[in-house]
A and B are shown apart, each in its own frame.
Chain A
Amino acid sequence: MTDEKKPAGIVRRDFLQTAGTAALGLGITGLPTVLRAQPASVKIGLIHPVSGFIAFSGNQCREGALMAIADINAAGGIKSMGGVKLEAVLGDSQGKPDIGAAEVAKMAEAGINGIVAGYASSISLATSQEAAKTNTPHVVDVGVSDQIVSRGLTNTFRFSPGYGKIADFAVANLDAINKAAGSPAKTAMIIHEESLFGTGTADLLSKKLPENGIEVIEVIKHANPTRDFTNIVLQIKAKKPDLIIPANYYNEYVLLARTMRQQRIEAMGIYSVLGGAASNYKFVKEFPEAAENIMDCNHWFNPKSEVALARKAAAEAKGLVYTYEVFLAYNAVLGLADAIERAGSTDKEAVNAALSSSNMDMSFMPYGPTRMVDGQNEGAQPVNTQVLKGDIEVIAPKEFASAEAVFPVK
């Protein structure tokens, strides 16, 4: 019973200790790392909500992670371990934290070497906590809740920005965009969905926007799903805000934007924070008129990076819509593989230590240098995007911008 729970690495180490003593007796003073017995593959658990109500995003995450594994293997696998290949072990959380946690427990026992999960914050909280019980390295791909990395779990890491940073960035950049245009926007309305993401966004913006001279004249919460935005849009029409700030998931965002277009809402701008559809090529392609000029503060790739553009092209060649789920999951696998490479083994403590000291080059993202503090990459940041002439352009920060902001629209 005890032996089953003992990690394989420890057993190997015990064996090597004995063998090493014998080898010293023969005058051999050591073995190169790569000549030691290596596992047949490095198992990476990918746990995403590939079925259930957020299945589209979950599948996007899975595809991104699988692309990363394929690319790493094609480039020679984990070289410090003699070219061992990565092997994906797939799990479906069905959008439920308890099932996500059960998947982690199952994978941990199957000898998983690291986990990338879990798209939604609530699922990431559960999976990382379960992984912490076996100290299994766990990289969160998309979940933005700051609580994910503030619980003191030494196995939990995130290469993408957290919610606090995104919200601060969104407020500061909106202020900058408004001021650059001569501060025409004085009022705003926030329309948000009811869960953690929408409510958190609305609360934060309601506090911060007045500090920048923008009065929040109305905050409207809606349920998930909401299939008719007519009443909400009529309220917007009546209040005539300068800015409309939506914070909703993809379907609701699309419906809201379409209804605003149908009702001929005229505002100086639509500015989203983590807008479900605002930085999504599918939305831009399917509803170009509704999407035009919408600004968003969101995860995005560096449009000036050849590597990023090549990955986008590769994803599109596979028929994928290149959403942030794809490249954030890709990056999470990349960060985990980089740590295993530097650790030179799959020893959990060594991999966690390597993740803690990660300085992976992420110039394909609009980030600063990678620097992990309590599991969070402090170099990560969002960008501002805007839909211009049927394409998604980066408008801030300046060093990554591919276009100038168009504001006010009217």
Chain B
Amino acid sequence: MRQLALLGLVFAIIGLAPFVISSDFTLNAVIMILYAALVGQAWNILGGYGGQFSFGHAAYFGTGAYTVAVLQVQLGINPWLGLIAGGAMAVLVAAIIGFSTFRYGLRGSYFALVTLAFAEVLRILSNSVPFTGAGVGILIPLDQGPANLQFVTKQGFFWVIWLITLAAFVTVWWIGQSRFGAQLMAVRDNEDAARALGVEAFRVKMGAIMLSGLFSGLAGVFYAQYFLYLDPYIAYGPAVSVESLLVPIIGGLGTLFGPLLGALGLHVISELTREFIGEFPGISLVIYGIILIAMVLFMPRGLAGLASRLRARPFGTRAKAAEGSHA
């Protein structure tokens, strides 16, 4: 319960943002951090807690995004309904991918490659079929108003992403406390042992991938409504899949706050490198990459791991403890 209280406090503090931030740019940064935390947390459910490393979360993200866009543009269906439909379609795609892979016992790099292939297949399909706009993409008409899930100010978008992200984090907190979560982590740590203890690994993994798909799909819906334009590369391209896994890896795999820390850390590094060396094209990306490599090398448990390590070791004992850890 202490963790839930802390979660509530963190989100309450984040919720103050629209009241204390007058700068649209800064509020946009907070929105994008929440959005990155959402895609990262979605991946974390399956990858961090379930130990199933997916390289193809774009499949769920893109499905959510395209669902809301296609329903609006082709069928005139309100995007609030599209939000639900986007999440549902992403769950369906996750169920199909999960069934096709877990049913046949795919694990590790095989599972990762198959998920990557699914995302790529969806990218090629969306690039070919006319109702997604094919390669031309799909532009959601600008029609600002809360009824259309488009807001004149950033505050409206902030509350939408804040709520969805909060829901994702509360779900992950629940996973950490529940029997389902315990089974999921048992599968992650040793699937054969978990099976021997009576855990239905297939059912547990299916639950995890569908929850993961749901939040990825909702992130896709949010992206579509925020930027109002999608094409196959934006929706199903590798950038989304990479961002999804990078955020929890940097923040801390299988931890509740890892994706939030990862999203914050990545955004701050990205902004700082762009701010100070952005005038030299490409250099900021190189520095960004070097920092990421260093973080992965020297902080294998991510920012969350670093935070707990610092908390656990008072200053006087840190050097001694470090010596011990190398021993």
CB-defined contacts of A194 to chain B, threshold 8 Å: 127, 135, 232
- Chain A: residues with Cβ within 8 Å of the partner, total of 42
**B284 adjacent to chain A (CB < 8 Å):** yes
- Chain B: residues with Cβ within 8 Å of the partner, total of 34
**A97 adjacent to chain B (CB < 8 Å):** yes
Question: Are the CB atoms of A51 and B284 closer together than 8 Å?
Answer: yes
Nearest Cβ distance between residue A402 and chain B, in whole angstroms?
Answer: 34
Overall SS of chain A's interface: helix
Question: Are the CB atoms of B233 and A195 closer together than 8 Å?
Answer: yes
**A1 adjacent to chain B (CB < 8 Å):** yes
Given contacts A97-B227, A102-B29, A122-B229, contact A199 B281 (CB under 8 A): no
Q: Nearest 7 CB-CB pairs, A to B?
A: A199-B135, A50-B281, A51-B282, A1-B22, A105-B25, A106-B25, A196-B136
Question: Are the CB atoms of B141 and A151 closer together than 8 Å?
Answer: yes
Within 8 Å by CB of A196, from B23, B228, B231, lies: B231
**A101 adjacent to chain B (CB < 8 Å):** yes
Q: List 29 A-B contacts (CB under 8 A).
A: A2-B22, A4-B22, A50-B282, A51-B281, A55-B282, A58-B281, A92-B284, A94-B285, A97-B227, A102-B25, A102-B28, A102-B32, A105-B25, A109-B23, A122-B229, A122-B231, A125-B139, A126-B229, A129-B142, A129-B228, A151-B141, A151-B142, A152-B142, A194-B127, A195-B136, A196-B135, A198-B135, A199-B136, A221-B135
Q: Residues 220-256 of chain A: 1 if any B CB is under 8 Å from the residue's CB, otherwise 0?
A: 0100000000000000000000000000000000000
Q: Residues 277-303 of chain B: 1 if any A CB is under 8 Å from the residue's CB, otherwise 0?
A: 011011011000000000000000000
A312 to B32, CA, bound (A): 41
Question: Are the CB atoms of B135 and A195 closer together than 8 Å?
Answer: yes
CB-defined contacts of B227 to chain A, threshold 8 Å: 97-98, 101, 126, 129
Indicate the member of B29, B32, B234, B281 with the most A CB atoms within 10 Å.
B281
CB contacts under 8 Å to B, within A1-36, are 1-2, 4-5
CB-defined contacts of B229 to chain A, threshold 8 Å: 97, 122, 125-126
**B137 adjacent to chain A (CB < 8 Å):** yes
CB-defined contacts of A133 to chain B, threshold 8 Å: 24, 152
CB-defined contacts of B127 to chain A, threshold 8 Å: 194
Q: Which residue of chain A has its CB nearest to the CB of B142?
A: A151
**A357 adjacent to chain B (CB < 8 Å):** no
**B134 adjacent to chain A (CB < 8 Å):** yes
Q: Which residue of chain B has its CB nearest to the CB of A126?
A: B227
A102 to B36, CA, bound (A): 14
Known pairs A51-B285, A94-B285; list 6 more (Cβ under 8 Å).
A92-B278, A102-B25, A102-B32, A126-B229, A151-B142, A195-B233
Q: Residues 2-29 of chain B: 1 if any A CB is under 8 Å from the residue's CB, otherwise 0?
A: 0000000000000000000011110011
Question: Are the CB atoms of A92 and B228 closer together than 8 Å?
Answer: no
Q: Residues 84-121 of chain A: 1 if any B CB is under 8 Å from the residue's CB, otherwise 0?
A: 00000011101011100110011011000000000000
Which A positions have Cβ atoms within 8 angstroms of B? 1-2, 4-5, 50-52, 55, 58-59, 90-92, 94, 96-98, 101-102, 105-106, 108-109, 122, 125-126, 129, 133-134, 147, 151-153, 193-196, 198-200, 203, 221
CB-defined contacts of A122 to chain B, threshold 8 Å: 137, 229, 231, 234
Nearest Cβ distance between residue B184 and chain A, in whole angstroms?
Answer: 32
CB-defined contacts of B23 to chain A, threshold 8 Å: 4, 109
A203 to B134, CA, bound (A): 11
Question: Are the CB atoms of B228 and A125 closer together than 8 Å?
Answer: yes
CB-defined contacts of B278 to chain A, threshold 8 Å: 90-92
Question: Are the CB atoms of B32 and A98 closer together than 8 Å?
Answer: yes
Nearest Cβ distance between residue B270 and chain A, in whole angstroms?
Answer: 9
CB contacts under 8 Å to A, within B106-160, are 127-128, 134-137, 139, 141-142, 152
Question: Are the CB atoms of B25 and A109 closer together than 8 Å?
Answer: yes
CB contacts under 8 Å to A, within B225-260, are 226-229, 231-234, 239
A143 to B213, CA, bound (A): 34
Question: Are the CB atoms of A108 and B234 closer together than 8 Å?
Answer: no
Q: Which residue of chain A has its CB nearest to the CB of B144?
A: A133
Which B positions have Cβ atoms within 8 angstroms of A? 22-25, 28-29, 32, 127-128, 134-137, 139, 141-142, 152, 223, 226-229, 231-234, 239, 274, 278-279, 281-282, 284-285
Question: Are the CB atoms of A105 and B142 closer together than 8 Å?
Answer: no
Nearest Cβ distance between residue B100 and chain A, in whole angstroms?
Answer: 24
CB-defined contacts of A90 to chain B, threshold 8 Å: 278-279
A105 to B284, CA, bound (A): 20
CB-defined contacts of A134 to chain B, threshold 8 Å: 24
A153 to B139, CA, bound (A): 14
Nearest Cβ distance between residue A111 and chain B, in whole angstroms?
Answer: 12
A58 to B278, CA, bound (A): 14
CB-defined contacts of A102 to chain B, threshold 8 Å: 25, 28-29, 32
Q: Which residue of chain B has its CB nearest to the CB of A198?
A: B135
Nearest Cβ distance between residue A124 and chain B, in whole angstroms?
Answer: 10
A403 to B134, CA, bound (A): 38
CB-defined contacts of B136 to chain A, threshold 8 Å: 195-196, 199-200, 203
Nearest Cβ distance between residue A316 and chain B, in whole angstroms?
Answer: 21
Nearest Cβ distance between residue A94 and chain B, in whole angstroms?
Answer: 7
Within 8 Å by CB of B137, from A98, A106, A109, A196, lies: A196
CB-defined contacts of A101 to chain B, threshold 8 Å: 28, 227
A106 to B26, CA, bound (A): 8
A4 to B139, CA, bound (A): 33
A228 to B229, CA, bound (A): 31
CB-defined contacts of A108 to chain B, threshold 8 Å: 24-25
Nearest Cβ distance between residue A325 and chain B, in whole angstroms?
Answer: 14
Nearest Cβ distance between residue A125 and chain B, in whole angstroms?
Answer: 5
Q: Which residue of chain B has its CB nearest to the CB of A51?
A: B282
Q: Which residue of chain A has its CB nearest to the CB of B135?
A: A199
Question: Are the CB atoms of A92 and B274 closer together than 8 Å?
Answer: yes
CB-defined contacts of B284 to chain A, threshold 8 Å: 51, 92
A409 to B274, CA, bound (A): 50
Question: Are the CB atoms of B142 and A153 closer together than 8 Å?
Answer: yes
Given contacts A51-B284, A98-B32, contact A105 B24 (CB under 8 A): yes
Question: Are the CB atoms of B24 and A109 closer together than 8 Å?
Answer: yes
Indicate the member of B22, B127, B137, B141 with the most A CB atoms within 10 Å.
B137
CB-defined contacts of B22 to chain A, threshold 8 Å: 1-2, 4-5
CB-defined contacts of B279 to chain A, threshold 8 Å: 90
CB-defined contacts of A2 to chain B, threshold 8 Å: 22
A2 to B23, CA, bound (A): 10
Q: Which residue of chain B has its CB nearest to the CB of A107?
A: B25
A234 to B87, CA, bound (A): 44
Question: Are the CB atoms of B137 and A59 closer together than 8 Å?
Answer: no
A198 to B141, CA, bound (A): 23
CB-defined contacts of A195 to chain B, threshold 8 Å: 135-137, 231, 233
